[in-house]
Structures are given as structure tokens and as C-alpha cells.
Amino acid sequence: MAEVEKKTENLVYAKPKLITDNVMHYCPGCSHGTVHKLIAEVIEEMGLAEKTVGISPVGCSVFAYNYIDIDWIEAAHGRALAVATAVKRLYPQNMVFTYQGTMNMRNKKWEKDFSPVDPDGCDIDLVTTKAYLHHLFKAQELLARLATAPRGVLLRLRLVTDARHHIEQGDFVAWKNSIIDQLGRRI
């Protein structure tokens, strides 16, 4: 087979420089790899690689330090936000973020919640209820993971894109406070 010449003008995708060469261990269909790429791109575009600290809790997200070449701190279960707050107070000039999920669908509070998964989402989000996802997770149905993986990727992509926009506009703190309130009501 002939060698294909790689030309800069034909480049469609380039791996972000902050992504390491380690082989990812995540399950097929998992969104962690996509989220790692998005996080790395934003940090690179902002020029903050040397001033970024990621806080990762337990679960699969704890391995982010293997794949994104920034400073990381591992936090105990449920303590990522507290650790991030401490780091930000100690190093206010740094960008500090937590890498964790937003919703535990096994939680009993979703059992009788027949509201849409995401009222601002696509058609499938409007007809899929939180109670239905709760049932899928409690029954350990494979469909639970398949149904939520694309939503997680889309939500994270939307959040990263919006965050980038608000950082550029200079109103990130106000946007962040409103989105935290909005996501808090969804959880």
C-alpha cells in the first residue's frame, strides 16, 4: 500500500497535546474519552495547561490523570467539590475543576419522577422520563447505559462549549452560577 502524505491543509483532527499516549481502559461506548478530548482542547485553547488543577473523585473518572497531562488531585467519595474549593482558595490564580457526573439514576427520588430527562433536549429526551431511566438502572438493563451515554456526551459538550463562550465574553462566573443552579434542580 502506498504511503499517504499528511498535509496540514488536509488535517481534519489532531489529538490535543495534553492528551497522553496512554491506551484508554474505558468500556466501549463510554463518553470519558470524548470528554477528556474536550477538556484538553479547552485548557489548551485558553493557554492554561500550567495553571490547571483537576479534581477527580472515585469511579472511572479517577483515572483522568492517566490521560490528561495536567495536575490532578484524587478526592474521596463525595468530596471533590470541597477539595476543589480548598485548592482554589490556596491558588486563586489557577483554573480548578472537578471531573464527575451529575446524576445517580439509582437514587430512589427518581422512582416516581415522570418528568422528561431533559426538557431542553432532543425529542428522545422529552419522551424519556427519569422514572423510566431509574427503572432501567435498578433492573441493571444494558439499555440504561446505552440510553444515558449519548446524553452525557451531549450535555458535557454543550457545557464545555457554553463555558468557552462565557469565558471569552467575560461573564463566566455569572453563567457558572446560573448553570449550577439549573443543574442542581435537575439532579
pLDDT tens-digit series, residues 49-101 = 999 999 888 777 788 899 999 999 998 877 777 888 888 889 989 988 887 65
Number of H helices, E strands in the chain: 6, 3
C-alpha–C-alpha distance, residues 14 and 29, integer Å: 21
Does 153 or 91 have the greater pLDDT score?
Answer: 91
What's the pTM value of the predicted model, to 2 decimals? 0.54
pLDDT at residue number 26: 82
pLDDT at residue number 187: 41
Tens-place pLDDT, residues 16-46: 999 999 998 887 767 788 888 888 988 998 8
Percentage above 90 pLDDT, the chain:
12
Q: How many angstroms separate the Cα of 178 from the Cα of each of 82, 102, 174, 185? A: 20, 15, 6, 11
Tens-place pLDDT, residues 101-133: 555 677 888 889 888 876 655 555 666 788 888
- Region 149-153: what's the mean pLDDT? 55
Residues in the chain: 187
Q: What mean pLDDT, rounded, does the chain reach?
A: 79
C-alpha cell read off for 77: 467519595
pLDDT at residue number 15: 87
Task: Specify the pairing of strand 71-74 against strand 95-98.
Answer: unpaired
